[in-house]
Amino acid sequence: MTSKAPAQVNKFADDSLEAVAYRVAEQFSTREFNDNNRLGYHIYRYLTGTIPTIDEAVRVSGVRLINGETIESVTEKVAQQLKELGKEVKRG
């Protein structure tokens, strides 16, 4: 048993790339919570230039969807939301 309090969690600013990526990813219904996190991480990697296209970011994330959504529909929705937020979107 420990007597120390848990470490504080620092939140990202609402307009940071991290916050934008995870906010876009959380709208999708996935099998597990971690699928949304993985999708958000890959969207973040796209926004920082590590992944060249949004199509590849969604595909590589390996997100497992429910409610009949497809990878293509998720890619379209992600691209549309990023455009609405003023981010440049490259498609592949």
CA 80 to chain centre: 13
pTM: 0.85
Residue 39 is predicted with a pLDDT of: 96
Mean pLDDT, residues 5-31 taken together: 88
In this structure, what token pair is assigned to residue 17? Answer: 């790339």
Residue 1 is predicted with a pLDDT of: 64
What are the pLDDT digits (tens) for 37-88?
999 999 999 999 999 999 999 999 999 998 888 999 999 999 999 999 888 8
The residue ranges of every structural domain in the chain are 17-84
* CB 42 within 8 Å of CB 53: no
In this structure, what token pair is assigned to residue 41? Answer: 């991480």
Distance CA 14, CA 23 (A): 9
Q: Would you say the C-alpha torsion 84, 11, 33, 17 has a positive or negative sign?
A: positive
